Amino acid sequence: MTSLLVDRRDRTGAPAAAQRPLVLIATLGGAVAALAPLLVCIAVGVVGWFASDAGAHGAPRDGMRMGALAWLMAHGSGTTVQGVAVGVVPLGLTAICAWSMWRVAHRVGDALSGHGPDADRISDGERDLTVPMAAGTFFLGYAVVAVVTAALASTVATAPSVPPVVLWILAMSLLFAAPAIAIGSGRAAIWATFVPVVVRQGAATARAILTALLALATLVFLVSLAVGVGEAATMVGQLHLSAAEGTVYALTNAAFVPNATLFSGSFLLGPGFAVGGNTLVSPDAVVLGALPLFALLSALPDAGVPAPWLSAMVWLPPVTAAAATMRFQRRHPAPTWLDAGLRGCGGGIAAAVAFAVLASVSGGAAGPGRMRHVGPDVFDVLLASITALGLGGLVGALVMTWWQRRGLSSSGP
């Protein structure tokens, strides 16, 4: 932001007119953000192809194609495996792509901090299109790489879909690239001054609640996976994998750990999730059928009526929301009871909506027949999360406000 407050000169001392054009910087930034994880996926694909059978079958381009398809699937393309549509998004790879997008976009924003009006002119209301233009051209650079990759990697057998990829990239650009550019360029700090304090505190509370819920869901999933490690070892043994194939299998499972975390969160909230048609995994009932040999599925509870302690876990999300709100408000006390209530309840509802959005992209078609329906029911998750997190955040905010006011009154004259 400091670059907005000084004379518009770049690091070499040249005037702003000599700076590189915005379109060039942002477009190249988008392409770099796309190419970095894409090249890693391609390299892993080639290594996996060679290690699986020492290159005895196919050609290196087959491994490159598999890596490119994995990258496209991380952007919602879906693919076809032996004539069966697979649409589940490996959110682990998506997270890596989002991290790459954020890092590069932040650097793009820093490079563009000298473009457009300065801080005083922005504060006076002058229109500043630096961030929208940069985000738009960043998206175009990223999307061009994706479209070219899809054209080169697509075959009749795999058939990745391009329109969903473009929509995913657009959503990721709005969620990650645009904010990163705004922060890197210093615009976010200026715009934040126009946002009411209660809204900013509510957004920070929502982030704290969502982070706490995801941490809880991850912990529950990892404990469940550790309990079922014997079953996972049995699955791997039935596949008769070599060391190299086992590594590829482990990486494939790791790519879907965020999906499993969101499934775990849906379970804790109450609605649960499906692992195939006519199945349900929830605190009230567990109905399962035949399952594929996928190691992460060893974390599923046994079929039947869950134990009482397992059903009681539905209380963990509201308690977690209350604790996260109290922890945040301890550092940032609310000036009034109304502000505390708005901050806690509003933050909880915002976190609930965010979790429901994440849950909506965690499932999809995972195979033929009944496996075409995998994942949580988004509407049920949304209602349950609004209730649990909204009430939890409200109670946490009010309890901490009462405690802080009680401490002030007891220490007064």
Measure the CA–CA gap between 222 and 232, rounded to whole angstroms.
13
Percent of the chain with pLDDT over 70: 89
The residue range of the domain holding 405 is 199-411
Q: Which of 294, 197, 210 is nearest to 254 (CA)?
A: 294
pLDDT band at 9 (very low <50, low <70, confident <90, very high): very low
Structure tokens at 297: 């599925």
Is the whole model's pTM more than 0.85, yes or no? yes
In a domain, 340, yes or no: yes
Q: Could you tell me which of 299, 293, 301 has the C-alpha nearest to residue 235?
A: 293
**Are 178 and 209 in a shared domain?**
no
The number of domains in the chain is: 2
Last residue of a domain, one of 194, 210, 241: 194
In a domain, 2, yes or no: no
Q: By the 8 A CB rule, do 264 and 219 touch?
A: no
Last residue of a domain, one of 194, 220, 240: 194
pLDDT (average), residues 366-377: 84
Domain membership of residue 131 (yes or no) is yes
Whether residues 269 and 379 fall in one domain = yes
* pLDDT per residue as tens digits for the range 18-46: 467 888 999 999 999 999 999 999 998 88
The CA-based angle 381-364-349, given to 5 degrees, is: 20
Residues 243 and 112 in one domain: no
Decide if 412 contacts 390 (C-beta within 8 A): no
184 with 223, same domain?
no
pLDDT of 247 reads: 82
Strand positions, DSSP E, 174-281: 274-275, 280-281
* 167 and 311 belong to one structural domain: no
Q: Out of 109-123, 196-210, 243-257, 287-301, which region has the weakest mean confidence (pLDDT)?
A: 109-123
The pLDDT value given to residue 79 = 85
Residue 267 has pLDDT above 90, yes or no: yes
Rounded Cα–Cα distance for residues 98 and 92 (Å): 10
Task: Please provide the DSSP assignment of 371-393 as one string.
Answer: GG-EE--HHHHHHHHHHHHHHHH
Do 386 and 293 belong together in one domain? yes
Alpha helix ranges (H) inside 270-377 = 308-311, 316-331, 337-360
The answer to whether residue 208 is domain-embedded is yes
Write out the H or E segment, with its range, that includes residue 86: strand 84-86
Whether residue 3 lies inside any domain: the answer is: no
- 222 and 127 within one domain: no
Residues 162 and 243 in one domain: no
Whether residue 400 is contained in a domain is answered as yes
Same domain membership, residue 178 and residue 137 = yes
One DSSP character per residue, 280-298 reads EESSS-EE-----S-GGGG
Residue 38, in any domain of the structure = yes
For residues 240 and 174, membership in a common domain is answered with: no
pLDDT at 58: 60
Alpha-carbon torsion, ordered 164, 89, 37, 54, to 10 deg: -120
Whether residue 306 contacts residue 283, with contact meaning beta carbons closer than 8 Å, is answered with: yes
pLDDT at 412 over 70: no
DSSP 6: S
| Same domain, yes or no: 204 and 162 | no
Secondary structure class of 85 (helix, strand, coil): strand
Per the structure block, which two tokens stand in for 168?
A: 């995913």
> Is the residue at 369 inside a domain?
yes
Q: How far is CA 351 from the centre of its chain?
A: 13
Picking from 133, 160, 194, the residue at the C-terminal end of a domain is 194
Answer whether 284's CB lies under 8 Å from 308's CB. no
Q: Residue 8: what pLDDT? A: 44
The pLDDT of residue 14 is: 43
Cα gap 129→4, rounded to integer Å = 14
For residues 363 and 376, give the distance between their C-alpha atoms in angstroms, rounded to a whole number.
7
Same domain, 155 and 212: no
